[in-house]
Amino acid sequence: MDQAPYTEKVLGSNTDKGNLCELNYSVKLHSRGLAILCSSLLFRSYGLGQCDLVRYFPEIPLIEIFEVKKNKRLSRQFLNQKSRIKASGEFLSKLLKSNVRILVIYEEDFAKTDILH
């Protein structure tokens, strides 16, 4: 059987770096609560926003939606995202009969934040 050639992807684009940042947060974030994987395809089909990271505490009941940002400079894109992310929270709230909290976390604060613990 032929072996596929090895390729190495260099992290160059903002999307690549954003995904790596989300992965780092995900490891820490999902050490507590239950991870909820939200299909961007499903959410977009309902006109909802894509959720970066979501965890669920059924005993409270509470859903936390985390929007991961590279830096604190609020972009026009994020301001447009806010209402769609809020709509995603309302959707999950109805689905799981839970309260929802939406939080923005920044890569530069990763080491000093305790909200993820």
Residue 8 lies in a domain: no
pLDDT tens across 102-113, in order? 998 877 765 555
Overall size of the chain counted in residues: 117
- Domain assignment of residue 93, given as a range: 14-109
CA distance 93 to 81: 18
Residue type, 3: Q
Q: How many domains does the chain have?
A: 1
102 part of a folded domain: yes
* Average pLDDT of span 84-100: 96
Which pTM was predicted? 0.73
Give domain status of residue 27, yes or no. yes
Cis peptide before 5 (omega within 30 of 0): no
pLDDT tens-place string over residues 59-80: 999 999 998 887 777 666 677 7
Residue 105 lies in a domain: yes
**Does any domain span residue 86?**
yes
Rounded CA gap, 108 and 64, in Å? Answer: 20
In a domain, residue 41? The reply is yes
DSSP E strand boundaries for 1-117: 34-35, 53-57, 62-69, 99-106
**Do residues 67 and 81 touch, judged by C-beta distance below 8 A?**
yes
Q: Give me the CATH number covering residue 57.
A: 3.40.1350.10
115 pLDDT exceeds 70? no
Mean pLDDT, to the nearest integer, of 68-94? Answer: 83
22: in domain: yes
